[in-house]
Structure 1
Amino acid sequence: MQNIRPSRPADGPRVVEIWRLAVDATHGFLSPADRAAIEDDVRGFLPAAPLWLATDADDVALGFMLLDGAKMEALFIDPAHHGRGIGRALVAHALALHPVLETDVNQQNAQAVRFYRRLGFTETGRSTLDGQGRAYPLIHLRCTLAPQ
């Protein structure tokens, strides 16, 4: 069973590694130029961001979540640990903090779309561009129920 805790400065390299591994596994739709630009942005802000980490018994981060109030801005799990309930546990933690939770998911990330729908998220809208104005459509989601 994993532990969920706030991130610390020393977690920065592992968080960026999780992001990179997860994006490589699930975001094949990104152009190489956009992927590189996004990684540059991520390296600049993610290590210092206030994250929630799911860690194993040795306190090694397996996944992370970025919350901005009741908006889940990011949820990334090391692909070596997909399917083990880590994402579900992080979402449950977020819902315990915020009974109504919102997030956006890339429309092309079918695995993530299925994951959120299984947890009870429903579509509230769509955008043709991502948050940085790139042509990666988003589905806006909301969950008001605890994950099953």
Structure 2
Amino acid sequence: MCSRDEPTVPALSLRPSTGAAEYPALVAIWRSAVDATHDFLADAHRDEIESHLQSDYFPAVTLWVAELDGRPVGFFGVLDGNLEMLFVDPTQHGAGIGTALLRHAIAEHGVAKVDVNEQNVSAAGFCVHRGFEVVSRSEKDEAGRPYPLLHLRLNESF
């Protein structure tokens, strides 16, 4: 899925989430990743989203976890062919973990679509570099907040 110059992570393992017992660790990854990449997000909106992760968002998706040395360092959630979430511990950004998670989501879970905050330029670039293309845009996010979304689809020729 990716160019040969991207790093590989030999000690990385991917597995299904074990459920609610590990949600706090995933929330911590989410929070640190959002703090590092979503500087456009108002604190109140970030806190509101975070308050729904364990109770609403995680249980609604097929959730997979990336581990290094037995410690979660990233995760993704998929629903009906849509990548609903993909977050990596920011201390591990650039190590190939996000790429490994995305490859797995595409190959094993049929992911063909993803929505990305327009202001999150690095995430949009990450997806485009890995075969997605922007097909449309919304002025607000799915909850009506003022964060434009780019709707991307996996390029059929990829």
Question: TM-score with structure 2 length normalisation?
Answer: 0.85
Matching residue of 1:35: 46
* 1:11–1:47 Cα contact (<8 Å) kept: no
- Please list the CA deviations of residues 88-134 of structure 1 after superposition, one character each: whole Å capped at 9, or x if unmatched: 01111011124551000000001111111111110111101101111
User: SS where residue 126 of structure 1 aligns?
Assistant: strand
Give the % identical residues: 45
For 1:78 and 1:38, how far apart are their aligned partners in 2?
18
For 2:58 and 2:81, how far apart are their aligned partners in 1?
21
Matching residue of 2:76: 65
Amino acid at match of 2:14: I
* 1:95–1:146 Cα contact (<8 Å) kept: no
For 2:71 and 2:54, how far apart are their aligned partners in 1?
19
* 2:78–2:109 Cα contact (<8 Å) kept: no
Structure-to-structure mapping, 1:93-112, within 5 angstroms: 93-99=104-110, 101-112=112-123
For 1:116 and 1:54, how far apart are their aligned partners in 2?
18
- Please list the CA deviations of residues 65-91 of structure 1 after superposition, one character each: whole Å capped at 9, or x if unmatched: 000021000000000100011110111
Structure 2 segments unaligned to the other structure (5+ residues): 1-9
Alignment length (residue pairs): 146
Matching residue of 1:55: 67
Tell me: CA distance 1:146–1:20, structure 2 relative to 1, closer, same or farther (3 Å). farther
User: SS where residue 8 of structure 1 aligns?
Assistant: coil
Matching residue of 2:28: 17
Following TM superposition, the consecutive aligned residue runs of length 4 or more in structure 1 with deviations greater than 3 angstroms are 46-50, 144-147
Measured after TM superposition, the shift of residue 11 of structure 1 is: 1.6
Measured after TM superposition, the shift of residue 48 of structure 1 is: 3.8
Q: CA RMSD in A?
A: 1.8
